[in-house]
Structure 1
Amino acid sequence: MARKNFVCEWTPKSFILTVVIATVLFNECFIYIIQSFRWPDIGIADYRNYEEEQVILLVSDPQLQGYQMEPPFPIGSFSRWDIDRYLTRTFGLVYHHVKPDIILFLGDLIDEGSTAVDEEYHYAYQRFIDVFSAAEYTKKIYIPGDNDIGGEGRDFRTQKKVDRFVKNFENITGVSTFGFIDYIKNPEDMVWVVRPRKASPVHVLVSHFSVLVRDKMRVNPILQQVRPHLIFSGHWHKANVFLCNDCMKDDDSSWSVKQRNIEDMKGWMVTNLTEKPFSITEIMVPTCSYRMGVPNMGYGVAIIRKNGELSYTVLWTPERYKMLYGYLVAICVCLLVCLASRWLRKR
């Protein structure tokens, strides 16, 4: 019986089809899986007791794109769809990797939350809920940013904006107690009204804007009132750590705040929050959105134990713009193949 030889012949159509399928699979599937393999292991059992140690997932500046500042249909619709899909995928992977006890949203939740009309705000809020639906049954704390209620430049904060945020999310101030930690929200708005429990071993101040970079005369009354062991902030869209060894001293001397860029963080940063009574650590969490114009996006993860031990890392997510450029390159290659094929046929 004669043996048939099967030879795979590449035609322009088969080559283009292969390039398209490979590009889509890599950009929409494989790149997310590859990136998740680079994340450090959480190292805590699923049956942990949040009364003794807590795993905190930090989401900063998602800024879901709105309807006023985006291009008209179809570009605006596609850009909103793509950023929503990117955040849904990255958050879902991070959430299942971390299995957090609590999630802190550090402000600027909706890009046009301060300027949107009620109908636009309603649609954006529903998209926000859908994007982070993987954590539907996990405890959350929401902090408003300037994009949510105003407060930066000429975008003034008004009571109407605050009321709309409160109606859809939660109060912008107060103390939320979870396990052994008191989470103090936006202390500048309520510093003389609400205090954390003295019995709580750990006080965590949660603010959209950075605290330690401000003038001491402005923030020292807040720090003396709240007595935080740790501060989480966002707004800059970058990953930083600020350390002040004498910020809790009640005097008029100037303080020295050391800033450390952690954009290249791959492992865990470990410290103890209660060993030095006059020291404060502030962790600035990077944005999780690729639309913010920064090269590195990610989610912060903090593990706090009752004895004051803190472990912190950033789970970096894929650079979406590089993936979109990859589509552009693939389109150019396919066009060149088509043109070359037509030219050869004419020859």
Structure 2
Amino acid sequence: MKLLVKMFSKLANWSFLGAIVLVFNLFLLDIYSIYPCDWPCPDCSDENFVKVMILSDPHLLGKRKGHPVDQFTREWEMSIAFQLAKSIRKPDVIIFLGDLLDEGLTVDENGFDKYVDRFEKIFSIEDPIEKIFIVGNHDIGFHDRVAAYPYLRKRWEKAFNSSLAKLVTIKGIKFISINSMAIEGADFSLVQEMENYLSVVDEQLTKSNLPGDPILLLHFPLYRINDDICHEIDSQKGQDRLNNFTPGVESLSKRTSDNLLERYRPRLIFNGHIHSGCVVNHTKHDSQEWTVASFNWRNRQDPNYLLLQISPNDHSIVKCFLPTEISIVITSILCLITLCVSTKIMGKLVDSHSPKSQPKSKPKDNKKKDKENHKPVSKGEIKKRKSKEKN
């Protein structure tokens, strides 16, 4: 029993030390990646410039698809990276471009509430940072599901302070958020409801006297045939970039895309959905579209996010990469090996400098002594002793 307790205690100590090493390793790797990636315009100290952090597709796993170990690992990685980036860069605004929850459309009400609580713990954002959440297909489903189950959309809008379409103005910069799954499809009532929301946005823009064109935020990319026109370092590779997009599934239709470009003439468009990066210049409308790669290591080896500095008349953008998962695995293994070896070396050094134990002395044989003391004495010996005593 004592041996089992000793083994368990040793295992617990090693597990604790190993966990500390892994956290410290990821922390250092994130610092190494995040700290050098600064705001693109450090000299833009004008109050008109707004600092915006943009990320997409975190895909928090649910109970159906994700293994608990996989779920814990990904959320732990994302939480450390996000909190470090937020603390170091101190943005004014943080934007999530959809698919916050991987199984948001399948969980019941209680499960959804727990899902939202997990998201808010992992991606906690304190005041006064503004936040904008765009809904994705994994949050509420594609068009047919959104139309068939309106409660999916409404509970998400309530939890994340969103709507079908919304104009948000922050420090003079106009952001238009749009529900990609509701803007087009077979359900006339949903499309008409979406049009009513867009009309409100039109009216708000008409009444606004703020300078500068708006920023368009949505989950689906605008129409493009495929990703063969994308040449970013995080764009799709190989055959994947040649696979044609299905309008309404991988992108918006050409008609809807042209309508949004004509209607709002946005200078910048940000979206996600395909988990890979892309930059498209819509020269006819003087607009630039950025498709942001996934922030989750489960979806790609090199997750990233954008840092945007924007004023009514100018903007700068930089893409910040997180450490690759292979680098995290290799350095974690090296750290654990180093911990194991150094612990053994330290143990040997301690043993070599500790005082040697003295050999135990043999106990005296008292029985033998007693026997000697109780030997029979002869009469002659007794007389000799008495004569000595007299003298």
- Whether the 8 Å contact between 1:104 and 1:141 is mirrored in structure 2 is yes
Residue 38 of structure 1 aligns with which residue? 36
1:306-317 to structure 2, matched below 5 A, reads 306-307=312-313, 309-317=314-322
Q: Distance in 2 between matches of 1:46 and 1:179?
A: 15
- Partner of residue 281, structure 2: 243
Q: 1:157, 1:327 → 2: CA distance? A: 47
Query: Is 2:128 the partner of 1:122?
Result: no
Counterpart in 2 of 1:27?
25
Deviation at residue 30 of structure 1 after TM alignment: 2.0
Q: 1:111·1:148 contact (CA, 8 Å) conserved in 2?
A: yes
AA in 2 matched with 1:279: D
Q: Which has the higher helix share?
A: 2
Greater mean alpha carbon deviation, residues 80-89 or residues 228-237: 80-89
Match of 1:285 in 2: 292
Comparing 24-33 and 85-94, the one that deviates more: 24-33
Superimposed CA distance per residue, residues 185-214 of structure 1 (whole angstroms, 9 cap, x where no aligned partner) = 116334344215243323011001001425
Quick check: 2:306–2:319 contact (8 Å CA) kept in 1? Answer: yes
Shift of 1:161: 0.5
Q: Does 1:211 align with 2:222?
A: yes
Cα pair distance change 1:79/1:21, threshold 3 Å: closer
- For 1:82, what is the secondary structure of its paired residue? helix
Between Structure 1 and Structure 2, the one with more strand by share is 1
Distance 2:152 2:309 in 1: 33
Counterpart position of 1:84: 75
Distance 1:37 1:53 in 2: 21
Is 1:175 the equivalent of 2:167?
yes
The Cα offsets for residues 215-247 of structure 1, whole Å up to 9 and x where unpaired, read as 43232222222221211101111121111111x
Tell me the secondary structure at the aligned position of residue 148 of structure 1.
helix
- For these two proteins, the number of residue pairs brought into alignment is 280
C-alpha displacement of 1:60 = 0.6
Once the 2 structures are TM-superposed, how far is the Cα of residue 83 of structure 1 from its aligned partner?
A: 1.8
Q: CA deviation at 1:139?
A: 0.8
Task: Tell me how large the CA RMSD over aligned residues is.
Answer: 3.2
Paired with 1:21 and 1:162, the residues of 2 have a C-alpha distance of 39
Deviates more, 1:99-108 or 1:148-157: 148-157
Q: Is the 8 A contact 2:146 2:152 kept in 1?
A: no
Q: One-letter code of the match for 1:184?
A: I
In structure 2, give the amino acid aligned to 1:81.
F
Q: Which position in structure 2 is the counterpart of 1:137?
A: 128
Residues 1:316 and 1:284: Cα distance change in structure 2 (over 3 Å): same
Unaligned residue ranges in structure 1 (runs of 5+): 1-15, 247-277, 336-347
What is the 5 A alignment of 1:194-273? 194-195=201-202, 196-198=204-206, 199-200=209-210, 201-213=212-224, 214-246=252-284
- Distance in 1, matches of 2:107 and 2:76, equals 22
Deviates more, 1:81-90 or 1:138-147: 81-90
The 3-state SS of whatever aligns with 2:27 is helix
- Give the superposition deviation at 1:119: 1.9
Deviation at 1:332, TM superposition (A): 9.1
Deviates more, 1:226-235 or 1:138-147: 226-235
Structure-2 change in CA distance of 1:139 and 1:37 (3 Å): closer
- The answer to whether the Cα contact below 8 Å between 1:300 and 1:314 also exists between their aligned partners in 2 is yes
Q: Return the index of the structure with the highest Cα Rg.
A: 2
Per-residue CA deviations over 1:95-149 (Å, capped at 9, x if unaligned) read 1232111111110011111111222211111111111214453111111000111
| Residue pair 1:104, 1:142 contacting (<8 A) in 2 also | yes
Instruction: Evaluate the alpha carbon distance shift between residue 286 and residue 244 of structure 1 in structure 2; reply closer, same or farther with a 3 A threshold.
Output: same
TM-score, normalised to structure 2's length? 0.63
Q: Secondary structure at the match of 1:295?
A: coil
**Displacement of 1:162:** 0.4
- Map residues 264-343 of structure 1 onto 2, 5 A cutoff: 278-292=285-299, 294-307=300-313, 309-324=314-329, 327=332
- Identical amino acids, percent of aligned pairs: 23
Once residues 84 and 165 of structure 1 are traced to their aligned partners in structure 2, the CA distance between those partners, rounded to angstroms, is 20
Is the contact between residue 151 and residue 157 of structure 1 (CA under 8 Å) also seen in structure 2?
A: no
Distance 1:223 1:135 in 2: 34
CA contact (8 A) 2:173 2:311 kept: no
Alpha-carbon distance, 1:27 to partner: 2.9
Letter of the 2:56 partner, please give it: S
CA gap 1:290/1:25 in 2 versus in 1, 3 angstroms: closer
Match of 1:263 in 2: none
